[in-house]
Amino acid sequence: MTHTPEQREVLDLVGAQFDDAVQLVRDLIDIPSVGPWFGDEAAVSGEGAVQAFLRGHLEGLGAGIDQWEPSAAELAVHADGPGYFADRDFTGRPNLVGRFRSAADGSDSPALMFLGHCDVVPGGPGWTDGPFTSSVRDGRVTGRGACDMKGGMAAALAAIRAVRSSGVQLAGDVAFASVTEEETGGMGTLALVHRGYRPELGIVIPEPTSLQVAPLCRGIVWGEITIPGKSGHIEIEQPDWRDGGAVDAIAYGRRLLDAVDALNARWRELPEKNHRHVPLPCQLNVAEIDAGTYPSSWAGSFTIRFDVQYLPAELDEHGGGGLVRAQIEEMVREFAGDDAWLAEHPPVVNWLVDADCGETDDTHPLVVAPQTALDALGIAPVVQGVTCHTDMGLPIKAGVPTITFGPGQLSVAHQPDEYLDLAEYRTCIEAMALMILDLCGVDGAAVAASAARATEAHARV
């Protein structure tokens, strides 16, 4: 495969610096960065610590820094849309942006941004070496966040380092952003957009896609439905509930789960629940069931918690999942029907998270660039949307073309022994470096001056 001199030099530097790139992802994994939303494990939360590490790395590469703690009060203007949660506290949990300016006078040029999140889900049980102790074996680095998404963030930083080490003069700026609060709704990226970041060349989110190019991600809604019952001794005959008898909430729960199955069957056939870039239809997936308190008592309540996905075609007027939430609420009303108990004790629907979706046109240069880079590396590119949520939606609604493209298998995210394949990691660094050269452009005047200097030196020899 033929490369330009600039591409060849940068790719050679990726190889020469790869051991450092492996150490970088290990260093990030070894800093626990679990957000406080997850409860007790907040005791090992290190979002502030990992941001401090990243800031030092960016400053070492020559970036100008913008760091701030988001404010829920300031972001309340977005309360009707996705990504806003009034109860979130960002004390000690800053957002971070580093910008590498191409202009000699330090002024801004059109920028390409790599946007990642520093927070990870809790470690949990079942690890071979522990979630926050990285290890390398069998061509993999293992640890919480290895693929989701500290591996992708490290790949972007390694690509930036290779380009800057090469001395290639870019025509456009490169920015690197690390936000918090992605795993629990996206408020970190909401704060980034609110602060005015609109990188003109687009945003690459290096979440794990196994190097597939994702111009689309689905939105998600988390919710819970609680059906009231009335507890009573399970071993004796009970009178009618109107006469003080028990009501088994689990019996109603079985009916609710049947209603969910019926809803999903309908959704599988609806065009708005399917997309050409996504292999799975949008579904309501029940993840938790909570019912009953004692083996000898009828359950006094039945609660399900669920994840439901949606596509850009279903966005509401606020850019979120309001239409889908309304569909779920209608399902619950139909389930209750004219049941006398539920008429007096209606099911309660509570919404927990609404994380939006987004799509960038397939023909946009940002979508084409990673495909061109993979082609140049001898890899057949694959375009496929992300079935889960990434932070694409908020910048897209702000007018910024955005894609998801990164190393790692999404299927191992949030699991024990989460890992990143190092060969794929290196390929991703190479592809990202080529994307920087492609999208930011090589300064023609700088290339000409370099060529002239080389010619002059050759003549002197």
Enter the tokens of residue 418.
């989460």
Q: In this structure, are residues 399 and 4 in contact, taking their beta carbons and an 8 Å threshold? A: no
Enter the tokens of residue 199.
């990188």
Say which DSSP state 292 is in. Answer: -
Burial class (CB in 10 A: 0-12, 13-18, 19+), 154: buried
140: three-class secondary structure by DSSP: strand
- Helices 249-267 and 322-336, packing angle to 10 deg: 130
Q: In this structure, are residues 50 and 60 in contact, taking their beta carbons and an 8 Å threshold? A: no
Closest of 61, 21, 26 to residue 174, by C-alpha:
61
Enter the tokens of residue 140.
């993999």
Give the model's pLDDT for residue 447.
39
Enter the tokens of residue 365.
């240069």
Residue 374 identity (one-letter amino acid): L
* CATH 3.40.630.10-classified regions of the chain: 5-217+357-449
Block residue for tokens 């008898």: 245
Peptide bond into 331 cis (omega under 30): no
Q: Would you say how long the chain is, in residues?
A: 461
Enter the tokens of residue 415.
């699991």
φ, ψ for residue 150, nearest 5 deg:
-70, -30
Give the model's pLDDT for residue 281.
97
**How far is Cα 172 from Cα 460, in angstroms, rounded to an integer?**
34
Q: In this structure, are residues 11 and 159 in contact, taking their beta carbons and an 8 Å threshold? A: no
Give the model's pLDDT for residue 45.
65
Radius of gyration for the chain, computed over Cα atoms and rounded to the nearest angstrom: 25
φ, ψ for residue 368, nearest 5 deg:
-75, -35
Half-sphere exposure of 42 (CA within 13 A, CB side): 10
Residue 83 identity (one-letter amino acid): G
Q: How far apart are the first and last CA of the chain?
A: 31
Distance of CA 40 to the CA centre of its chain: 23
Q: In this structure, are residues 56 and 48 in contact, taking their beta carbons and an 8 Å threshold? A: no
* CATH 3.30.70.360-classified regions of the chain: 219-355
CATH topology of domain 5-217+357-449: Aminopeptidase (3.40.630)
Say which DSSP state 168 is in. Answer: P
Which residue spans within 215-347 are E strands per DSSP?
Answer: 216-217, 219-228, 284-291, 301-310
Residue 312 identity (one-letter amino acid): P
Q: In this structure, are residues 262 and 200 in contact, taking their beta carbons and an 8 Å threshold? A: no
**How far is Cα 236 from Cα 16, in angstroms, rounded to an integer?**
76
Say which DSSP state 243 is in. Answer: G
Q: In this structure, are residues 177 and 449 in contact, taking their beta carbons and an 8 Å threshold? A: no
pLDDT tens, the chain, 461 aa long: 688 999 999 999 999 999 999 999 999 999 999 988 776 554 456 799 999 999 999 999 999 999 999 999 999 999 988 889 999 999 999 999 999 999 988 899 999 999 999 999 999 899 999 999 999 999 999 999 999 999 999 999 999 999 999 999 999 999 999 999 998 888 999 999 999 999 999 999 999 999 999 999 999 999 999 999 999 999 999 999 999 999 999 999 999 999 999 999 999 999 999 999 999 999 999 999 999 999 999 999 999 999 999 999 999 998 889 999 999 999 999 999 999 999 999 999 999 988 889 999 999 999 999 999 999 999 999 999 998 889 999 999 999 999 999 999 999 999 999 999 999 999 999 999 999 999 999 986 443 443 343 334 334 33
- Assign domain 219-355 to its CATH architecture: 2-Layer Sandwich (3.30)
Maximum distance among all Cα pairs of the chain, rounded to whole angstroms? 106
φ, ψ for residue 455, nearest 5 deg:
-65, -40
Give the model's pLDDT for residue 2.
82
